[in-house]
Amino acid sequence: MKLCRGKIRDYAKNCQLDAIVQEYLKSHPDYDLTSEEKSAIKEQIVEYEAQLHSQSAQPEAGHLMANGAVDEEEEEEEDEPTTCPWCPLTTSATGLPCSQHRTCFECGLLMPAPGVAEQLNLRDPGCALCKRDVCCLLANDDTPCRCDQHTCASSLNESRNHLPFHAKLINDVETAHLLTYKANKRLSEVDFVDAVLSRFASLTLHDFNDGLDVVALGSITPDTRLCRQCRDLCFSRLLYGWKMSLPPGDQRLWPSRPNCYYGYNCHTQHRSLQHAAKYNHCCPQTRFH
């Protein structure tokens, strides 16, 4: 990993995060800052802006050209040669050269192509749903994965400690309401994940336009190993099934809003936080369906 050691040049406001915070504060005004605290923050921002502008106006040492101009191009560091992390451990034992490689869809590490992997007694690297190659799927009892196994691929059951951090209920606004619900109900992460995974039968009950193959979905289990993207999409589907199965009393803990005609398949909800906050998207599509 390479860290940038350059000076901070600028900052930008995160409008999407601000919209989520403002929506949260409408329901929880006690968490809002006082006017004095907000004024202090604004004064600090003004001070930082002055520092940033003064830094950006000064050329860094060692980057002046002969004519006095500033050379803005940094010297590019040469990349270190990349080696396959799988071959050194298997070549000496089997004598098989790894002449063909693929790149892991998730982490980008080199990995043997399926044909070579089979000769090395490794597992099929293809995700059960999208069929894309993921290096963690190569691992077996004798050959562990070369990267964090939860980064690339794992089953829903294997990811119990990681799923809440990747969980997304339909859109960012609904996810924020989900976090509020969990806090109000004092749900532990263990109980929450158990409750969501208990809805595994609902994986194919709803017609999501998320790109997952419905036929393939019907053949997987909570122990089927998937790439991270497919795993998180499956968990999002289960989240929706869990939310819709809540008793009426718990359903009322979510803000009351009219349903969007396009429900969970709405495209606008992902590019407009105002639309996502105004309408409920935890509902099926009812228009042009």
Query: How confident is the model over 109-119, as a mean pLDDT?
Result: 78
122: confidence class by pLDDT, cuts 50, 70, 90: confident
For residue 262, tell me if it sits in a domain.
no
**pLDDT at site 236:** 92
Domain count, the chain: 2
45-94 pLDDT tens trace: 766 666 655 555 554 444 444 444 545 544 455 444 456 777 665 554 55
Same domain, 245 and 165: yes
Same domain, 136 and 181: no
32: confidence class by pLDDT, cuts 50, 70, 90: confident
Same domain, 142 and 163: no
| CA separation for the pair 97, 147 (Å, rounded) | 22
Full domain range(s) for residue 126: 101-150
220: confidence class by pLDDT, cuts 50, 70, 90: very high
94-103 pLDDT tens trace: 555 556 777 7
Q: Which percentage of the chain shows pLDDT scores above 70?
A: 73
For residue 26, tell me if it sits in a domain.
no
For residue 45, tell me if it sits in a domain.
no
For residue 170, tell me if it sits in a domain.
yes
For residue 231, tell me if it sits in a domain.
yes
**Tokens of residue 163, six digits:** 């799923």
For residue 210, tell me if it sits in a domain.
yes
**pLDDT at site 1:** 41
In this predicted model, which residue has the larger pLDDT, 165 or 266?
266
For residue 23, tell me if it sits in a domain.
no
Same domain, 246 and 165: yes
Query: How confident is the model over 152-177, as a mean pLDDT?
Result: 82
